[in-house]
Structure 1
Amino acid sequence: MSKQPWTKEKMNKWIRERGRGTGKDYVPWTKISDFPSMGRATRIFGVKIPRIYHLQSDNQLRCFLIFEWCDAVVDIRESFPLLDVMEVVGDKDDLRFDKFSDKETGFPLVLTTSFLLTIRNAEGKETFVARSVKNASELKRSLTFEKLEIERRYWQTKGVDWKVITDKQIPKQFAKNVMWVRETLLDDGIDAKQKAEQAALLHNDLVRYPELKLNDVLNAFDHREGVSQGTGLYLFRYLIAKKLIRVDMNQSVQVTRKIRDVLR
């Protein structure tokens, strides 16, 4: 339920302000301050596209991190509104749109899809992909099925690939690893050129000493370069984030292992 009653006037105001644009100019239909969340709501600054993303649950956050990591994904629009759903969906006689209205005013709510992604293939062609994120337990509720069926018909009519993602399908360790490395790409007060140069030096060490333990090489790097303790680990994360080295993102990184066993 919204903090304020949902009315036609409020909807028209939101239509002027939200749910439009692409890239850094997109404003999600739902912001975390508008509605209570089923989980921990998060505002996170994008690495690929520099804007604040509003994510309504831990599952949405994990999906966002995985989408952002994927090179083929060039735009992520969260809480995408289906403003033209009544015009687009032709076969709607058996759909219970009446269930989705403000309890106080009775005015119809605007339905949304968790994510609308823009995907670019190897040939440079762009297509859209829609994904709805739900807890598996929510699928037991008839109201959830009603909403998902509306979404399914909407995107099917639009010719857009649409699927539901549940918490049981999300690779949680992968998302955790993305979160662990991505912050090194954000503004941290370190000169970007200096960071890249130091990372290149560490990369040389990783290639040169594959039989040594990762933490030993990172500690030796800190001592040799005269930098604060932990800098080597930070740059290691940076190298992963820039995809200059590869690790198994589905496993936690064990710094006590040999480098050759960590890198892929």
Structure 2
Amino acid sequence: MIQDSYSIRTKRLIAEGRGQGVGADYIPWTKTHEFSSKGRATRLLGIKTGRIHHLQSDNQYRAFLIFEFSEKVSDIRETYPLLDALEVMDNVDDLRFDKFQDKETKDPFVITTNFLLTVVEPDRSEKYVARTVKNSSELKRKMTWEKLEIERRYWLQKGIEWKIITEKQLPRQLAKNIEWIRETLLEGSEGDLDKERLSITLLRYLLENDEVPLKEILKLFDKQEDLQKGSGLFLFRYLLAKKEICIDMSKTIDFSLSVRDINLK
């Protein structure tokens, strides 16, 4: 239900399908070119969704990378609008909706939550969880907490788990490692390499040379397969991205380690 108090612009965005759809069809409520961000805005193609995601800060970008890498998360919807907030929540008298409106026109802003995730349960059923990403310094502001209280009550009323995430729950090294390997999953990133066939060959090669440091194995693999320098490293990243090789992604990857020091599936 579109609230009568919404501005013409808000009604237009709703008509455009903003905040609606799932997967590749979802359209975020706001896009990076439409807002002023205190952080660094990022647009990137989602591996799981196949659409462009619009992220408003470095912390949101790191959260997105971690969500996408998780096997439990099947869909990520960013900047999800709480369009039916006033209809959903029972008691709003003590909530300061008046603070979230245009100072000149008095048109209300649409409250959004940074991420609405679809999570796959062990029994293959799906549920939604909502996550708001904030820098810990923002939590010192009263207005921030007033918005968070609106979000908290909204998702509570919906029966959907909601939590706040700060930079303290977003390990930089983990996000950096995910960023480093995920590009190998993008179409065309491999150039002329047959990454499906060669990655299997590399995995076998790693298992057969488990006492040799990784950096040496990758060099030998390039030479043995007559590949361009760095091809083995690309394929190693691809194996990590596909989780055929498991290592502690929260730490800097140490290529002086031998294969027996890492876990191969």
1:12 lines up with 2:11 in the alignment: yes
- Asked whether the 8 Å contact 2:184–2:190 carries over to 1, the reply is no
Measured against aligned partners, the alpha-carbon deviations of 1:226-245 in whole angstroms (never above 9, x if no partner) come to 11100000000000001111
User: What are the within-5 Å matches in structure 2 for residues 102-121 of structure 1?
Assistant: 102-121=102-121
Most deviating of 123-132 and 97-106: 97-106
User: What SS is found at the alignment partner of 1:21?
Assistant: coil
1:56 and 2:50 matched: no
Q: Does 1:177 align with 2:212?
A: no
Q: Partners in 1 of 2:149 and 2:192 — Cα distance?
A: 47
> Does 70-79 or 97-106 show the bigger shift?
97-106
Equivalent positions of 1:117-156 (< 5 A) are: 117-156=117-156
In the other structure, the counterpart of 1:215 is: 215
Residues in 1 aligned to 2:221 and 2:169: alpha-carbon distance in whole angstroms: 39
**TM value normalised by structure 2:** 0.94
Q: Distance in 1 between matches of 2:232 and 2:79?
A: 38
Q: CA deviation at 1:191?
A: 7.2
- CA distance, structure 1, for counterparts of residue 41 and residue 191 of structure 2: 32
| Secondary structure, aligned partner of 1:132 | strand
Shift of 1:104: 3.0
The Cα shift of 1:192 comes to 9.4
Runs of at least 5 residues in structure 1 that lack an aligned partner in the other structure? 1-6
Report the more deviating stretch, 32-41 or 184-193.
Answer: 184-193
Q: Give the count of matched residue pairs.
A: 258
Structure 1 stretches of 4+ moved >4 Å: none
- The whole-number CA distance in structure 1 between the counterparts of 2:157 and 2:174 is 33
Counterpart AA for 1:93: D
Give 1:43's aligned amino acid: R
Letter in 2 for 1:9: I
Distance of 1:32 and 1:191 partners within structure 2: 30
**Identical aligned residues as a percent:** 52
- Seen in structure 2, the aligned counterparts of structure 1 residues 127 and 193 have a Cα distance that, compared at 3 Å, is farther
How does 1:178-193 map onto structure 2 within 5 Å?
178-188=178-188, 190=190
- Residue by residue over 1:186-231, the C-alpha shift from the partner in whole angstroms, topping out at 9 and shown as x without a partner, is 0125479921100011101111111101010000011111111000
Q: CA deviation at 1:261?
A: 2.2
Structure 2 residues without counterparts, runs of 5 or longer:
1-5
